[in-house]
Structure 1
Amino acid sequence: MTKGTGCGALALAPAGKWKGGQMAQAAGAVEVRIGEGIVWVVMTGDAANRLTPELRGALLTELARAEADPAVACIVLQGAGACFSEGDDPTELEGPHATPDPATLCRRVEGCAKPVIAAMHGAALGTGAELALAAHYRIAAPGTRFGLPNVALGLTPAAGASQRLPRLVGAGPALDLMLSGQAIALEAAPAGLIDHLARGPIEEETRAFCAELRAEGLGPRPAAQRREGFAAPLAYQQAVAARRAKVAGSGNPAPPEIVAAVEAAQLLPFAGGLEFEADAYDTCRETEASAALRAVAAAERAAASAMTPARRAPHRVAVLGEGPLALPLVQALLPVAAGVDWGCDAPDVLHDGVIALHRRLEAARQGGSISEEVVEERLSRLRVGAPADMARSAGCILLAGPGQREVAAPAGVSRLVAYPGRVREVGLRFAPAPLGARLVEVIAGPEAQVEQIAEAEALAQQMGCLAIRVRSGGESVGGRLFDAWCRAADALVDMGQSPEAIDAACRDWGWRRGPFLRRDQMGLLRLGAQTRAEGAVNWASALAESGRMGRENGAGFYDWTEVGVPLASAEVDALVVARRPAAPALPADMLRLLLIGAMANEGARMLATGMLRRASDLDLVALEVLEMPRWRGGPMLAALRMGARAVREALASVAHPDRAFWAPHPLWDDLVTTGGADWPQR
């Protein structure tokens, strides 16, 4: 079998009952065609060809018909539209799969008495990829993406991938695919995964592939009987051991189970390995961590579906200003905008900025992430000059710093405020920063127009970001959450707790950087403006006044070594004790409950005022801005897991001068009354 490149479209006619190889009417989620001894079974579900129970049942039916027809020599599985299949319907992940489940379908495909060929294009993901693995042969159009993303949901594969894939490609490549959850282009597939990369129209090449199978007398080739991946037993075991060490201590339950399942593939009979995988899938699905990961994925889908439908983004974007956001914005926009015009009143700032941009792009080139041609192409689309000149031909204007609000804009061109400050119309807040941002808060101010919001969301999509719509006069969800986190942590210190113990409670929960470590790394002087109630202390300001500025000068809430390692500080302990009375140490779970509860309480206020539409949007912001562990799900979900009644009572019990901050919002009463299943949506 030879490899090549190319792809083509498949002209389909419906088929169903089979008589002597003739076409007849078919129904439902597949279309079928028979000719030249080949049955084409084409998935025609939704746009992603998700393997719903209906589609799985239809595939089983047509597979049985093809197997029973003497005129059929080969069976081809293919997807209609833009892809092969993107796998499960997400709604099925919350419980056991309906009958027939994906594992049953894949076992039936693998056990077919006639060769089954998966002809892939677009994407084969999740159980879609597992269906392709169950086929006896795999053909792919160029650019086809193949991936097993279950790990991102806290789940193992569900239909045999942990047993079939290592038999084909070995433990190392199989584990890398399953543990990363990332899709790969099949041009770069590990040896053994695909049998042919198409050069021309995929239908033609699949037909030729089938003819070659028949000419060579090649029949079914079940992955269960393949052993190429086991050819080097010691290397296989070493790969398993290395990945096991790498995922040790993971809060996500899936990675250790995936490693164990791949180990089982070498040690157990195939049927036993499938049972091992099924048990691991069920075990993972029932964990709180997997439920949280699935909730986050659902929140992302909800936020994406709420975005204004994608439209053509502006041809040119003008970035105006010289603040710290300007250069990162320019760099982030260059790969996606038709052109970027950077306007600034200070020519020396522009000169230095362009030099810095050259250095950044050159560093990326030397790191291998972009080519020299890409560097030159991006720089060719950059213009710099006076703000008024740069704004004149822009399709959209981003204000990167103050002082640019009065620059004239062409009629109908939106001006989006990208720096913290007042927003009358529309603003953008990138999380965590413009360059590499995964999320953007689209701030809809009191004078926002629908078209401006749509343009902001289109720009976010163009930059590959998820947009969260926020209604405020400039305040961001991320900013309010960060302030609430620090305010609660400082209050706990006021009440006798130590900064180190509070950070440790976060760290033990999987939250890598607690509120005091995080502020040390940011610099304490800049955080002194955070307000506190009378009688409450802003401990960042207190330490800065004593000369402890954070990591930048080697002393903040922690003492910092020359290589950047934070150590507990006796000086801080003494300073804190001198300013407030001692108190018994609270257990770590109570410290976490109060921190999470305070943030969720602030989230309740945002929901009640209409600043946010969904509690899950706040969770998404928290994951990016506060770096909360994804497998905990964010403060709104975590608070529900801790129990609405327990959180309300804990907040009400806090005796602290900042009473307005700690007072439970009335939404907690509603949650307790209704059983605390979920937050309301607006």
Structure 2
Amino acid sequence: MSEKLGVATYRVESGVAVLTIDSPPVNALGLAVRTALSEGVARALADDSVAALVLICAGRTFFAGADVTEIGKPILPPLLGDVITQFENSAKLILAAMHGTALGGGLELALAAHYRVAVPSATVGLPEVALGLLPGAGGTQRVPRLIGVAAAVEMIGLGQHVNARQALSTGLIDAIVEEGELETQAIAFARDLLAKQAPLRRLRDLSTDLTLEQATPVFVGFRAAHPELFAGVKAAEGVLQAIEAAITLPFDMGIEREREISRFLIASPESAAQRHLFFAERAAAKFPGHEREKAPAIGTVGVVGDWIHAPLLEQKGLIGDGAAQAIILAMSNDGSQPLETLSRDATIVLVNRVEKLDALAMKMPDPGAVVGLSYTRGVAEIVVGGATRPAAALAAGVIARKLGWAAIFVGAVPGLVLGRLAAGLQAAISALLADSVAPADIRATGKAFGFAGGLLPDAAEGGVVDAGLEQRLVWPVLAEASVLVDEGAAKRSSDIDFAMVRAGLWPLWRGGPAFMAERVGHGQLTEWMAATGHPAQLAS
């Protein structure tokens, strides 16, 4: 006999309660799920027929993390930390049974259970550093106590995803059970623990394996091995500080220190930028105005002409012939290419020369299948013509990602998006040099902002960093980003940011030029453009 508790189902099987959470698509730890968890454990504790509780999730995954839409907003109770305390303090044995991806708060909740099992395909991890955050529900305090300080630094500091076999070897989980038998074998495992009178193991009661003196070389080594994690962004340093608290403070004080660092990171502009880019990357895969439309399946890709990236297609196992479902049409420098070789059945024709895409599309058997493709520094700009069908554009994005590239959708405008923004930066540098600004000062200011050295003038180090100089260097790019959005050249402002960061043309922790332009404000940017004689104008 099962009982509904909101998004959960509660039932008892021979003394073992099973609490199943079913909150599609990924069982994120939002308010409804937290409420069901709190009510479920309370129900088990009050049930005299229950000796143990198995926590499991329906659907494709265990809790895949916090509800990211709640980040930066007031969180309604019960808070995840309070639910975790309920689980950890349970007077009855609790076993977490994991499949899919137990990430972030999902793993933190599992760590509050007394024991953990997982199927072989499961993955666990604490990836919050990618959002400029740290695990804020006890992860930095429990993981070092369970798997050791050095392993915790690597796992949390790098946001690693750990497979079930690795998790078992480090002690993150206690057993691996068979695929398709998770619930049955988890119940059996719980009964075996009860039969053995296994202790209610609370990770908070453990001590770390290293003292602070012993851990200091670990921290120093991690910083030296991963300097990119400490340039501009703050989350990795926050992780090390929180793990240091796990070593030096009693558990409850360590939890409070973790929360203090977490609050600081959530409020930081660097984390805001990283969270913006996280959502920007998700959005970039969807065609604007057709967000629910799915991309057609793409098998092999044919190449007509001499395309520079054809070897990569072959390396990825994607190369086909001229009759393939998708065709790359590599135009020669004079723009000529025999079009009669193209299959009329092609779902998509990707053209490498995009200057006259619409005119070229009209010569094709199916103009709606024609999409432009421009590659720059690991980013594919999918050029959408006037006749291009959304399905064709989405298919182009699939091909680009199969090749390992990021992809954004852009309009057919001269220079496209990345080219115009890169040119905007170089024009700003040229203007500064023409005004006799010292190259060393431009370089120092640009590097302090976060630009890669290769984008800046060659000069000796030791120049002066100047805020006014930074504005003259950066704001022309913000202005150009705003113009691209106004023109419709960029289909979404967030696409600009995602592409610029992925191409290495903008520092991660700055969020992107469109992100910065929004924070500067339309009015202030318009006034600056008018005062400096910027050639373009923003829409009012």
TM-score under structure 2 normalisation? 0.89
User: 2:465 & 2:117 partners in 1: Cα distance?
Assistant: 57
Query: Residue 611 of structure 1 aligns with which residue?
Result: 489
Query: Residue 509 of structure 2 aligns with which residue?
Result: 631
For the pair 1:296 / 2:168, whether they are aligned, the reply is no
For the pair 1:198 / 2:177, whether they are aligned, the reply is yes
User: 1:180 & 1:309 partners in 2: Cα distance?
Assistant: 34
For the pair 1:240 / 2:219, whether they are aligned, the reply is yes
Q: What's the offset of the Cα at 1:500?
A: 3.0
For the pair 1:409 / 2:342, whether they are aligned, the reply is yes
Q: What's the offset of the Cα at 1:634?
A: 0.6
**Structure 1 gap ranges (5+):** 1-22, 342-389, 434-438, 518-556, 559-566, 570-584, 671-682
Q: Show the 5 A alignment for 1:471-482.
A: 471-472=411-412, 475-482=415-422
User: 2:495 & 2:90 partners in 1: Cα distance?
Assistant: 46
Aligned counterpart in structure 2 of residue 399 of structure 1, from 326, 329, 339: 329
User: 1:230 & 1:615 partners in 2: Cα distance?
Assistant: 48
1:638 alignment partner AA = M
Q: Show the 5 A alignment for 1:185-264.
A: 185-189=163-167, 190-199=169-178, 201-227=181-207, 229-230=208-209, 235-245=214-224, 249-264=230-245
For the pair 1:271 / 2:252, whether they are aligned, the reply is yes
Is residue 431–residue 624 contact of structure 1 (8 Å, CA) maintained in 2? no
Question: Which deviates further from its counterpart, 592-601 or 205-214?
Answer: 592-601
User: 1:25 & 1:211 partners in 2: Cα distance?
Assistant: 22
- Alpha carbons of structure 1 residues 254 and 511: separation in structure 2 relative to 1, 3 Å: same
Is residue 64–residue 104 contact of structure 2 (8 Å, CA) maintained in 1? yes
1:192 alignment partner AA = G
User: 1:415 & 1:474 partners in 2: Cα distance?
Assistant: 20
Query: Residue 352 of structure 2 aligns with which residue?
Result: 418
Query: Residue 299 of structure 2 aligns with which residue?
Result: 315
For the pair 1:666 / 2:535, whether they are aligned, the reply is no
Q: What's the offset of the Cα at 1:36?
A: 1.7
Q: Helix, strand or coil: the match of 2:134?
A: coil
Q: Helix, strand or coil: the match of 1:230?
A: coil
Is residue 444–residue 465 contact of structure 2 (8 Å, CA) maintained in 1? no
Is residue 123–residue 144 contact of structure 1 (8 Å, CA) maintained in 2? yes
Aligned counterpart in structure 2 of residue 490 of structure 1, from 418, 424, 430: 430
CA RMSD of aligned residues (A): 2.6
Q: What's the offset of the Cα at 1:591?
A: 2.5
**Structure 2 gap ranges (5+):** 359-369
Query: Residue 364 of structure 2 aligns with which residue?
Result: none
**1:286-330 alpha-carbon deviations (Å, 9 max, x no partner):** 111111111111222333344564445232211333354333444
1:179 alignment partner AA = G
Aligned counterpart in structure 2 of residue 177 of structure 1, from 128, 145, 155: 155
Q: Helix, strand or coil: the match of 1:84?
A: coil
Q: What's the offset of the Cα at 1:244?
A: 4.6
User: 1:400 & 1:591 partners in 2: Cα distance?
Assistant: 43
Q: Helix, strand or coil: the match of 1:446?
A: coil
Question: Which deviates further from its counterpart, 635-644 or 606-615?
Answer: 635-644
**1:617-674 alpha-carbon deviations (Å, 9 max, x no partner):** 11111112343111110111123334545443433332xxxx4xx146234xx5xxxx
User: 1:66 & 1:568 partners in 2: Cα distance?
Assistant: 65
User: 1:135 & 1:158 partners in 2: Cα distance?
Assistant: 17
2:284 alignment partner AA = A
Query: Residue 121 of structure 1 aligns with which residue?
Result: 99
- Alpha carbons of structure 1 residues 308 and 416: separation in structure 2 relative to 1, 3 Å: farther
- Alpha carbons of structure 1 residues 326 and 247: separation in structure 2 relative to 1, 3 Å: closer
Q: Helix, strand or coil: the match of 1:26?
A: strand
Q: Helix, strand or coil: the match of 2:71?
A: helix
User: 2:398 & 2:404 partners in 1: Cα distance?
Assistant: 10
Q: Helix, strand or coil: the match of 2:4?
A: coil
For the pair 1:327 / 2:257, whether they are aligned, the reply is no
Q: Helix, strand or coil: the match of 1:103?
A: helix
Aligned counterpart in structure 2 of residue 429 of structure 1, from 358, 369, 374: 374
Query: Residue 368 of structure 1 aligns with which residue?
Result: none
User: 2:427 & 2:518 partners in 1: Cα distance?
Assistant: 21
User: 1:405 & 1:444 partners in 2: Cα distance?
Assistant: 22
Q: Show the 5 A alignment for 1:239-638.
A: 239-245=218-224, 249-306=230-287, 309-331=293-315, 333-334=316-317, 337=318, 340-341=319-320, 390-391=321-322, 393-402=323-332, 403-404=336-337, 406=339, 408-413=341-346, 414-418=348-352, 421-424=355-358, 425-433=370-378, 439-463=379-403, 466-472=406-412, 475-513=415-453, 515-517=455-457, 557=458, 567=460, 588-638=466-516
Q: Percent identity, please.
A: 31
User: 2:476 & 2:427 partners in 1: Cα distance?
Assistant: 9
Query: Residue 379 of structure 1 aligns with which residue?
Result: none
Q: Helix, strand or coil: the match of 2:357?
A: coil
Query: Residue 362 of structure 2 aligns with which residue?
Result: none
Q: What's the offset of the Cα at 1:247?
A: 6.0
Q: Helix, strand or coil: the match of 2:497?
A: helix
Q: Helix, strand or coil: the match of 2:218?
A: helix
Larger Rg: 1 or 2?
A: 1
Query: Residue 60 of structure 1 aligns with which residue?
Result: 38
Is residue 329–residue 351 contact of structure 2 (8 Å, CA) maintained in 1? yes
Q: Helix, strand or coil: the match of 1:398?
A: strand
Is residue 426–residue 443 contact of structure 1 (8 Å, CA) maintained in 2? yes
User: 2:172 & 2:194 partners in 1: Cα distance?
Assistant: 21
- Alpha carbons of structure 1 residues 111 and 121: separation in structure 2 relative to 1, 3 Å: same
Query: Residue 53 of structure 2 aligns with which residue?
Result: 75
User: 2:314 & 2:73 partners in 1: Cα distance?
Assistant: 45
Q: What's the offset of the Cα at 1:158?
A: 1.2
User: 1:168 & 1:315 partners in 2: Cα distance?
Assistant: 45
Is residue 41–residue 78 contact of structure 1 (8 Å, CA) maintained in 2? yes
2:39 alignment partner AA = T
